[in-house]
A and B are shown apart, each in its own frame.
Chain A
Amino acid sequence: MNGIHDLGGMHGFGPVDPEPNEPVFHHDWERRAFALNLAAGFLGRWNIDMGRYAREHMPPAEYLATTYYEHWLYGLERLLVEKGLVTGKELEAMRPQGPVAGVKALGVDDLPKALRNRRAARMDDHLATPRFKAGDRVRTKNLNPTGHTRLPRYARDKVGVIDRDHGVFIFADAHAVTGQKVPQRCYSVRFEGRELWGPDAGPRDAIYIDLFEPYLEPAFPEGGHK
């Protein structure tokens, strides 16, 4: 979706404002909101792409006026209701009205295994044959789906070069909506700054973006035909 989360290339935000000796959390509620998100995620009713997609639905004005863990809290509440773990009424009253069948809360003993997982989005290499290889020129498609996508607006309909083939990963766009694990190749694609931003961009700036194969089509070599 063309949401407010897709910030790349916007002007007007002012300078970056690093905080010296910044603590990991600034408020106790941030600690709890962080942990609630992880613990609820471990219930297995949604995946990470659904989590991102839920946060992307925050109304734009609210998104910009709130902090990161408030985005997380918004996404969590939305998913809890959407996936039937909490009813809208319960959330409104903040009072439980009934149990949820078939779920088991993540316990302290389950945590080491849950946190030290080695495999998340990567799938077996043989599940998708690569259409492109390092050095190939590609053009990103001009896609504006209302669903989830990991193709940023600033990189649509642009020509780049495949830098490397990362292998096969769960296609985020489908995963966020249906939960299906569709295998797709994911490439690092190099774009010259001037291709993305025009003549004012630095001549020696390049932007590398990780893109799924369905976002890409072959680009003819400059000035030539295939």
Chain B
Amino acid sequence: MSDHHHGHDHAHEHEHDDRPGAHGAPLTDIQLRVRALESLLVDKGLVDPKALDTLIDTYETKVGPRNGARVVAKAWVDPAFKQRLLADSTAAIAELGYIGRQGEDMVVLENTPKVHNVVVCTLCSCYPWPVLGLPPVWYKSGPYRARTVIDPRGVLREFGVDVGDDVEVRVWDSTAELRYLVLPERPQGTEGMTEEQLADLVTRDAMIGVAQVKAPRRW
């Protein structure tokens, strides 16, 4: 087996890898299998290990929900941008430089006092990468994919969101190549905040539709 990925493994081994195989313990079957597959594909000239490193770095450190939070904050402070965002979401998001794979065709859904939107992908785990990064485990999990379409209010309650009976819940099942981003309601009490401060309040979960954005107690 070639040793091109050893440096990479060591760089990360200390942080999240709690399975056997980390910390000097024997490698698990899945670790061995992925290593062997990578070596095979590298030896056959099908992948370049440096490109793999760059791909990982891109989606682990550069692309993430901070991007979406900037889109939301801008929509809150700039009515003309918000109008463009709802009319042609892909183009407006591209104004901030967020383009690319799994975000080629974006649709922004506006939450209002009367409508609460929530996004799911029941068939796989489609997710708007350029604005939210890669999806969390729960989004890809059986419970979320199975239940959000049949019991949206129950799922939302588990996330601590109690939607009133007078509010319509709209579930968006991303079954095709459109990718959805929820524009949460701007919380009251944030009138004096800057766009940058507002962006810090916007969470990934609020942009999936399973959370509301809360104003800080003091700022």
Interface residues of A (CB under 8 A from B): 5-11, 13-19, 22-29, 31-36, 38-40, 43, 52, 55, 64, 67-68, 70, 73, 76-77, 80, 85-86, 90-91, 94-96, 99-100, 103, 105-108, 110-111, 115-122, 150-152, 154, 166, 169-170, 172, 186, 188, 196-197, 201-202, 204-212
B217 touches A (CB below 8 Å): no
A7 CA / B159 CA spacing, docked (Å): 20
Q: How large is the interface on B (under 10, 10 to 19, 20 to 34, 35 or more residues)?
A: 35 or more
A93 to chain B, nearest CB (A): 9
Given the known A-B contacts A33-B34, A35-B56, are A210 and B136 also in contact in the complex, defined by CB atoms under 8 Å?
no
B165 touches A (CB below 8 Å): yes
A222 CA / B33 CA spacing, docked (Å): 56
A-B contact count (CB 8 A): 274
Q: Is the CB of B150 within 8 A of A117?
A: no
Q: List 19 additional A-B contacts (Cβ < 8 Å) besides A28-B31, A35-B52, A188-B107.
A: A6-B123, A11-B146, A13-B147, A25-B16, A25-B60, A27-B17, A29-B34, A31-B8, A31-B56, A40-B46, A73-B33, A80-B41, A105-B51, A111-B51, A166-B176, A186-B176, A201-B150, A202-B169, A208-B170
B46 to chain A, nearest CB (A): 6
Q: Which chain B residue lies CB-closest to A203?
A: B165
A212 to chain B, nearest CB (A): 7
Report chain A residues within 8 Å CB of B172. 188, 208
A205 CA / B45 CA spacing, docked (Å): 51
Report chain A residues within 8 Å CB of B101. 115, 117, 120
